[in-house]
């Protein structure tokens, strides 16, 4: 279980102090697909980086299975919106790079990553280079790299945000299939109501300026998820509810804020 307890984070900017997060508390259950939804500037990414151990909170703590997070750990892996692939390395080497960074020899890391490359449908592209791949394929490599280190917790920061609408929906469908197989604990940051409803078991809607918990929404859609669920009345009701929660924030989050 992940416990977020009273997390606050303040940044120093040229204009003075900026309060990105204020007293954020919630729990994420083991093997849960948990999404954080909110507009730009509400502190979603900052919160995710705090869970990853990449940013220290100004107040509060994060506990994973009862142990306080003091920095990055092998129990957590992060997938970013931007692909962050090594342009000079082939796809298989990129997929194994996380293992290599943990001290696994390159040959062994490549072989260990091969099954995960197969899971994301890129086996035949193992010897290609990033510039030879589409945006969606590059993001699949990033996902394979995160899965290859076999983390207990997968942290995903708007991983499909830079993709076109069709590729994004296909990636969502692929991710639900992967989750059904792996059953990782996932915290997924998004500003898309449709994406949050389709992927998640629960959705935390965040308020902005400063970022804080607005509402927690249970997603009562059966698994495995099928694309047709997007046409169901329940799905429509969920996204409408999220929109009503978020619409008052539109226009309030346009200030430049650290995320």
In-domain check, residue 165? no
| Domain around 112 | 82-150
Kindly tell me if the per-residue pLDDT of 253 is higher than 70: no
C-alpha closest to that of 60 among 107, 33, 26: 26
Q: Report the C-alpha gap between 151 and 21 in whole angstroms.
A: 26
pLDDT tens figures, 35-52? 999 988 888 999 999 999
Same domain, 99 and 198: no
DSSP states of 93-105 as a string?
Answer: HHHTHHHHHTT--
Same domain, 231 and 212: yes
CB within 8 A of 129, min separation 6: which ones?
A: 87, 88, 89, 90, 91
pLDDT tens figures, 62-101? 999 999 998 998 899 888 877 678 899 999 999 999 898 8
Same domain, 129 and 218: no
| Farthest-apart Cα atoms in the chain, separation | 53
The confidence score (pLDDT) of residue 159 equals 86
The confidence score (pLDDT) of residue 49 equals 95
Same domain, 58 and 88: no
In-domain check, residue 258? yes
Are 135 and 167 in contact by the 8 Å Cβ rule? The answer is: yes
Confidence grade of residue 251 (pLDDT, cut at 50, 70, 90): low
Same domain, 13 and 134: no
Same domain, 67 and 87: no
Determine the average pLDDT of the residues in 134-146. 87
The confidence score (pLDDT) of residue 118 equals 87
Same domain, 116 and 236: no
Determine the average pLDDT of the residues in 99-123. 89
Confidence grade of residue 255 (pLDDT, cut at 50, 70, 90): very low
In-domain check, residue 168? no
Same domain, 67 and 156: yes
Same domain, 11 and 117: no
Same domain, 96 and 194: no
Are 5 and 25 in contact by the 8 Å Cβ rule? The answer is: yes
pLDDT tens figures, 18-30? 889 999 999 999 9
Are 85 and 144 in contact by the 8 Å Cβ rule? The answer is: no
Same domain, 207 and 224: yes
Confidence grade of residue 60 (pLDDT, cut at 50, 70, 90): very high
Kindly tell me if the per-residue pLDDT of 252 is higher than 60: no
pLDDT tens figures, 157-216? 988 887 888 888 888 998 898 889 888 999 999 989 999 999 999 999 999 888 999 999
The confidence score (pLDDT) of residue 254 equals 43
The confidence score (pLDDT) of residue 163 equals 80
The percentage of the chain sitting over the pLDDT mark of 90, rounded to a whole number, equals 55
Q: Report the C-alpha gap between 202 and 182 in whole angstroms.
A: 18
Domain count, the chain: 2
The confidence score (pLDDT) of residue 152 equals 92
Same domain, 156 and 238: yes
CATH code, domain carrying 225: 3.40.50.300
Other CB atoms within 10 A of residue 29 CB: 12
In-domain check, residue 94? yes
């Amino acid at each position: 279980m992940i416990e977020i307890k009273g997390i606050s984070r303040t940044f120093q900017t040229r204009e003075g102090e900026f309060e990105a997060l204020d007293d954020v508390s919630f729990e994420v259950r083991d093997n849960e697909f948990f999404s954080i939804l909110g507009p730009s500037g509400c502190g979603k990414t900052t919160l995710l980086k705090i869970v990853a151990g990449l940013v220290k909170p100004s107040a509060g703590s994060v506990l994973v299975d009862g142990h306080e997070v003091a920095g990055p750990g092998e129990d957590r892996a992060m997938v970013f919106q931007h692909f962050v692939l090594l342009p000079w390395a082939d796809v298989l080497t990129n997929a194994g790079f996380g293992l290599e960074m943990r001290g696994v020899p390159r040959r062994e890391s490549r072989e260990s990553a091969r099954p995960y490359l197969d899971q994301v449908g890129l086996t035949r592209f193992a010897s290609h280079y990033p510039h030879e791949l589409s945006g969606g394929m590059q993001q699949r490599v990033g996902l394979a790299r995160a899965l290859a280190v076999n983390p207990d917790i997968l942290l995903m920061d708007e991983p499909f945000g830079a993709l076109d609408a069709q590729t994004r929906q296909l990636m969502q469908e692929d991710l639900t299939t992967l989750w059904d197989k792996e059953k990782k604990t996932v915290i997924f940051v998004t500003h898309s109501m449709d994406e949050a409803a389709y992927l998640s078991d629960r959705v935390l809607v965040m308020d902005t300026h400063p970022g804080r918990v607005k509402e927690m929404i249970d997603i009562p859609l059966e698994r495995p998820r099928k694309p047709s669920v997007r046409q169901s009345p329940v799905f429509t009701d969920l996204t409408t509810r999220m929109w009503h929660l978020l619409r008052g924030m539109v226009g309030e989050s346009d200030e430049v804020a650290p995320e």
